[in-house]
Amino acid sequence: MNSSRDAKLKNLAATASILTSLLLTIIKAGAAFMTGSLSILSSMVDSLSDVVSSAITFVAVKFSDKPLNTKHRYGYGKAESVSALLQSAFIVGSAGFILYDGIYHFIKPAQIENTTAGLVVMFISLAATLALVVLQKYVIKRTKSIAIAADSLHYMVDILSNSAVILSLTLVRYLHLYWIDVMTAILIALYLLYNAWDITCEALGEITDCELDDKIKQKIIALAASSEGVMGVHDMRSRVSGSRFFIELHLEFDGNMTLYQTHHLAEQAEEKILKQFPQAQIIVHQDPYGVEEKRLDDHV
């Protein structure tokens, strides 16, 4: 039930992202042509890259929600991480284009005309982007999708860049500070590069099976340790694939219990964790309490 709901939410967010970025690309292209503003042009290039990136996200979330099968028992969740890497590559490319154009316009400054049309378009862009980010944040909270989170970062940058362009055009209109337009474009490009780095690091972390966040791990350990009959928890390890958590842990029970009894108690511990983390898949190994053995915890 939750899986089906999550898939619908992610598809909704991805579709809304494509349509929004396509609309913004068209209206910003018109505004850039009418005004000659480099900051609007840089914002348009960013929106164009978002069209491609959002299309990649749409395909990724469709693919990542495919059910588990005999060849992919961990599912297809890492398709979202690959999507995030491709998105960061597009961001880097668009930022490079803006930086090149910015340096060129520093050398050969250009006049900006019809700032009124540019301001109207940028205010429309800002409103549309804010609405999209609100939707994306809701979907991320409900689904934990890394692809939607990466896509949302683009639009968080867009909110800042749209605001910066509005400020830039205002200063050009009333104070005739044309160099502000070029500087704004360059700052947008640098901020794009910074966010591309964050997206890349997070995606690579998931692809290389980085552990869950320490706070989440400690909460899972605490839930297991507080379960009935559990006398100790050790050798927990985890990884993330899309919106799914994969968790392995060893639970220690009274060695005089039967295997049936410890199995029943281990299932109770699993259910307790799943209530807090329904997207998790859990493997529990049952150990007799106090046994001396080599442990993963002793080596990390």
Question: pTM for the full model?
Answer: 0.63
Residue 256 has a pLDDT of: 92
Structure tokens at 253: 């029970």
Q: Which residues of the chain have pLDDT under 70?
A: 1-3, 57, 61, 64-65, 105, 108-110, 146-147, 243, 300
| pLDDT attached to residue 251 | 94
* Superfamily per CATH, domain 2-207: Cation efflux protein transmembrane domain (1.20.1510.10)
pLDDT digits (tens, 9 = 90+) for 99-112: 877 777 677 666 77
**Cα dist from 53 to 6, 40, 189, 264, whole Å:** 20, 20, 16, 47
Range 214-298 has CATH code 3.40.50.720: no
- Comparing CA positions, the residue from 89, 103, 115, 116 lying closest to residue 42 is 103
Q: What local confidence, expressed as pLDDT, does residue 273 receive?
A: 93
pLDDT tens digits, one per residue of 209-256: 888 888 999 999 999 999 999 999 998 998 887 767 899 999 999 999
- Contact between 185 and 101 (Cβ < 8 Å): yes
Q: Burial, 280: exposed, middle or buried (Cβ in 10 Å; 0-12, 13-18, 19+)?
A: middle
Q: Where are the domains of the chain?
A: 2-207, 214-298
Query: How many angstroms separate the CA atoms of 217 and 210, rounded?
Result: 12
Residue 110 dihedral angles phi and psi, to the nearest 5°: -125, 150
214-298 matches 2-207 in CATH topology: no
